[in-house]
Amino acid sequence: MSNNFEPIGIAVVGCGNISDQYLTNLLRFPDVKVVACADIDLTRASAQAAKYGVPRSADLATVLEMPDVELIINLTIPAVHASVALQAIRSGKHVYGEKPFALSIEEAQTITAAAAEHKVKLGNAPDTFLGAGLQTARRVIEADHIGTPISAKATFGYPGPDAWHPNPEFLFQKGGGPLLDMGPYYLTALVQLFGPVKTISGFGRRAQNRRTIGSGPRAGETFEVAVDTQISALLEFASGPIATVRFSFDEPIATRELEVHGTGGAIRLPDPNAFDGSVFVCKKDLNKNTPNEWLDAPTDADWTEFPAEGSAEGRGMGALDLARAARSGGTPRASADLALHVLDIMESIIRSAASGQSVAVATTCKVAEPLPANWNPLQKSTQ
Ligand SMILES: NC(=O)c1ccc[n+]([C@@H]2O[C@H](COP(=O)([O-])OP(=O)(O)OC[C@H]3O[C@@H](n4cnc5c(N)ncnc54)[C@H](O)[C@@H]3O)[C@@H](O)[C@H]2O)c1
């Protein structure tokens, strides 16, 4: 096969905290070429361009006029995700954005409609479900190691990002909080395993109305908390399983759990905010156990390890998959429909918490095609 795949030109827009991970990874993928960095703060854009050897830096409007920029990687703060995405789409650029997709379903639907109108590809983080860890978990469940999934438990808790992020305010405003910040990893992983969510009951609280920046040049400054920082919810999936989820910036003890129980056993998944990590399976054989063993919790020895198989190159894998889809005419796996449904789940949790009523989720999405275990971001495509 001839090697005629032209690398897709990328501009990274938003050169803050997370841009280092994207720039490090995208520069190693031969199917994409980072040609520009942009930020509302031009010194940040030029500093990241200089650090990573990216040829140009500019403001968003200038970058959108560059003909060799085909794909915008939107790493701005949640409050401007939609406006940056819309400007890029209306300039005919493909867009891959960081989570959350937008601040509201209406904003998200405006973006998807614009992408359809301008015939550009649209995708969104998280792409961690494309990593070796969660892809292996999906293969293990599909190979029937735990029987039919019945329930899931997802928990993420810690004291909050005000301790480490140098500019943490956006993580405590609309578009932030533990649900919008960390929920996308856990909820996307669950939707990839079970399909769309049908009904939701949620509850929310906040432990503090003001927080203090804990590190960096602004340490000691305080700011207002505008969202709930303790969220619990029950999710009923259309395919049957029920999940219990909890997200917290209020808990002093850090927890990260993602577990699925089926008719034949249970599986512990790796951290869904990471691309790697083994999967552990515990099976119960109904015929071999005596009745009183049914109440015993399994010991560590009862869990069998399945090492992660696949690529774990990190953030940017979803953007690369989108870039390849832009060339081939395919559908990006970290798709806008998936991100929109996950946003709808989170919005529904908040609506349910505010109203005290269960909420029916209006949107739906398709589960992305699994990645072949030999999918390789470091290899140049041949078509
Ligand atoms: N920091 C992390 O560990 C992390 C991890 C995963 C995802 N994310 C997500 O990535 C996004 C960015 O997070 P961050 O931590 O890098 O934030 P950040 O505040 O460090 O960086 C955001 C950058 O966007 C720029 N910006 C703001 N408005 C802009 C505009 N209108 N046009 C161009 N640039 C603009 C800011 O100047 C800043 O440089 C968020 O959506 C966040 O949820 C962050």
Q: Tens digits of per-residue pLDDT, 275-313?
A: 999 999 999 765 556 666 667 788 888 899 999 999 999
What is the number of alpha carbons within 13 Å of residue 351 lying toward its C-beta?
15
Q: Examine the pLDDT at 25 and tell me if it is beyond 80.
A: yes
CA distance 188 to 341: 9
Distance 169 CA to ligand 1 centre (A): 11
Say what the pLDDT of residue 291 is. 61
Say what the pLDDT of residue 287 is. 57
What is the number of alpha carbons within 13 Å of residue 112 lying toward its C-beta?
18
Say what the pLDDT of residue 222 is. 97
Averaged confidence pLDDT in the chain: 95
Burial tier of 192 (Cβ tally within 10 Å: 0-12, 13-18, 19+): buried
Nearest residue CA, atom 18 of ligand 1? Answer: 16
Question: Of 136, 358, 186, 149, which is closest to residue 261 (Cα–Cα)?
Answer: 149
Percentage, residues of the chain above pLDDT 70: 96
Say what the pLDDT of residue 71 is. 98
DSSP annotation string for 195-263: --EEEEEEEEE-S-SEEE--SSTTTT-EEE--S-SEEEEEEEETTS-EEEEEEESS-SS-EEEEEEEET
Say what the pLDDT of residue 4 is. 72
Distance 167 CA to ligand 1 centre (A): 10
Q: Examine the pLDDT at 2 and tell me if it is beyond 50.
A: no
Read off the pLDDT band of 30 (50, 70, 90): very high
Residue type at position 142: E
Q: Tens digits of per-residue pLDDT, 322-365?
A: 999 999 999 999 999 999 999 999 999 999 999 999 999 999 99
Say what the pLDDT of residue 193 is. 98
Nearest residue CA, atom 25 of ligand 1? Answer: 14
The pTM for the full model equals 0.95
Question: Of 182, 227, 258, 234, which is closest to residue 352 (Cα–Cα)?
Answer: 234
Angstrom CA distances, 132 to 29, 269, 330, stand at: 17, 11, 22
Best of 15, 17, 64, 84 for a ligand 1 pocket test (most atoms within 8 Å of beta carbon): 17
Query: Where is average pLDDT lowest: 27-31, 133-137, 300-304, 375-379?
Result: 300-304
Q: Which two tokens stand for residue 135?
A: 């892809």
Best of 18, 22, 179, 182 for a ligand 1 pocket test (most atoms within 8 Å of beta carbon): 18
- Which atom of ligand 1 sits closest to the CA of residue 180? 43
Q: Tens digits of per-residue pLDDT, 219-270?
A: 999 999 999 999 999 999 999 999 999 999 999 999 999 999 999 999 999 9
Best of 13, 23, 51, 77 for a ligand 1 pocket test (most atoms within 8 Å of beta carbon): 77
Q: What lines the ligand 1 site, CB under 6 Å? A: 13-18, 39-41, 44, 60, 75-78, 80, 84, 98-99, 167, 181
Burial tier of 12 (Cβ tally within 10 Å: 0-12, 13-18, 19+): buried
CA distance 261 to 281: 10
CA distance 274 to 220: 30
Residues 6+ apart with CB under 8 A from 285: none
Question: Of 55, 49, 42, which is closest to residue 23 (Cα–Cα)?
Answer: 49
Tell me what the mean pLDDT of segment 112-117 comes to: 98
Distance 87 CA to ligand 1 centre (A): 17
3-state secondary structure of 368: coil
Distance 327 CA to ligand 1 centre (A): 27
- Which atom of ligand 1 sits closest to the CA of residue 79? 28
Tell me what the mean pLDDT of segment 128-147 comes to: 97
3-state secondary structure of 316: coil
Say what the pLDDT of residue 1 is. 39
Residues 6+ apart with CB under 8 A from 125: 96, 97, 98, 99, 184, 315, 318, 334, 339
- Which atom of ligand 1 sits closest to the CA of residue 41? 37
Nearest residue CA, atom 4 of ligand 1? Answer: 18
